[in-house]
Amino acid sequence: MISLNRPYLPDQKKVTAYLDRIYSTAHLTNNGPLLRELQERLEDYLGVENLLLVSSGTAALQVAYQALNLTGNTITTPYTFVATASSQKWMGLSPLFSDIDEKTFNLCPDSAHRMMTESVSALVPTHLYGNACYVEDFESLAERHQVKVVYDAAHAFGVKYKGKSLLSWGDASVLSLHATKLFHTVEGGAVVFKSSDTYEQAKDIINFGISVSDGSIGHVGINAKMSEIHAATGLAMLDDINHVIERRVAIYEQYKDALSGCVEFQEMHENATLNGAYAPLLFDSGETRARVQAHLMKNNVGVRHYFSPSLNQLACLCDGHEYDLPVAENISDRVLCIPLYYDLQQKEVLQVIDQVRRAV
């Protein structure tokens, strides 16, 4: 069986060396030395400031909403992982789903514009499969309506937009560092804040609201801290990240060369770099997608129909709203993700290509 995904395992000796350091100090969590080292190295590697490490990508989203004082409605994409929207509901927000662009699969700035009302406090788009959103359009929309922008950048580790980190756009950009993501700390997440004041507040928010500097309690907080053991895994993996991204992008491009004409690919932003986070294929219909999916599973190729369903079809996220979002519903019916990870062997890539061609 060729699996759909396989987490990257950093060098075991390196991880052990970090664990030895943890054992010698007994500093296990609470802003420890490894966490601070990882935070600095990530800011340096990504080219960002105000990066806060937390316990998961979902917690990172929640902390970003809380730190930015979001209230009422948000406008978000229905075509994403469920946590983009469920994190908003969990924080007492009421997400409104707006349709996506059929080429880029990202939230469409024009549809978002049409849903704008007084009660909206933020836009929450996702850089889906690592594809940069139309960030300039969202920025001007947000300025015109005086709302915040929080990017779910869970898929966008390492992506550069016009030469700068994509994560520097928006009031906050959120990474997931979960084991299945391109760069990971087993479980973990991060927020990159535009404002250093908001960043300082968020440091307290992830520590029960207790001020890191003077111990006073000025916020309602939560425990969203990352442990030293998680930070150790990240530090060991960060040494290898350029190889990981290069290999993943090479596989993605090989798929694209071999399968264009047979299936469609997401249109990637021309001003952004690729990171090889996912390999989504788009078929001509939902029936073709289901047929190919069954064929690949039968022939030992791990695939996943995601993201599906379009989130506007989940009653628990919709507050009784009825949505008609034809593009998101159509794309989510026709899409399938195929294996893409660092350890995927060249002969496996060829096998996947061959099986997709046969099935289509």
Ligand X SMILES: *Cc1c(COP(=O)(O)O)cnc(C)c1O
Asked if 98 touches ligand X (CB under 6 A), the answer is no
Asked if residues 109 and 134 have their Cβ atoms less than 8 Å apart, the reply is yes
Q: 336 pairs with which residues across the strands? A: 281
Asked if 176 touches ligand X (CB under 6 A), the answer is yes
Q: Which amino acid is at 248?
A: R
By beta-carbon proximity to ligand X, the closer residue of 57 and 349 is 57
By beta-carbon proximity to ligand X, the closer residue of 127 and 148 is 127
Asked if 341 touches ligand X (CB under 6 A), the answer is no
Interacting residues with ligand X between 120 and 139 (CB under 6 A): 126
Asked if 152 touches ligand X (CB under 6 A), the answer is yes
Report the residue from 34, 42, 53, 57 that binds ligand X according to the rule CB under 6 A. 57
Q: Which residue is nearest to ligand X (CB)?
A: 57
Q: Which residue has the tokens 């709302």?
A: 147
Rounded CA-CA distance 77/81 in Å is 10
Rounded CA-CA distance 75/81 in Å is 15
Q: Which residue has the tokens 């010698």?
A: 24
Asked if 154 touches ligand X (CB under 6 A), the answer is yes
What is the size of the binding site for ligand X (CB under 6 A)? 14
By beta-carbon proximity to ligand X, the closer residue of 50 and 56 is 56
Q: Which two tokens stand for residue 30?
A: 């609470």
Helix (H) / strand (E) containing 172: strand 172-176
The total of other beta-carbon atoms located within 10 Å of residue 106's CB is 24
By beta-carbon proximity to ligand X, the closer residue of 84 and 355 is 84
Report the residue from 58, 173, 185, 275 that binds ligand X according to the rule CB under 6 A. 58
Helix (H) / strand (E) containing 97: strand 94-97
Asked if 178 touches ligand X (CB under 6 A), the answer is yes
Binding mask 67-96 for ligand X (x = CB under 6 A): -------------xx-xx------------
By beta-carbon proximity to ligand X, the closer residue of 127 and 334 is 127
By beta-carbon proximity to ligand X, the closer residue of 152 and 349 is 152
Residue 186 backbone class (left: φ over 0; alpha: ψ -120 to 50; beta: rest)? left
Rounded CA-CA distance 325/75 in Å is 14
Q: Phi/psi at 74 (nearest 5 deg)?
A: -130, 155
Binding site for ligand X (CB under 6 A): 56-58, 80-81, 83-84, 126, 152, 154-155, 176, 178, 189
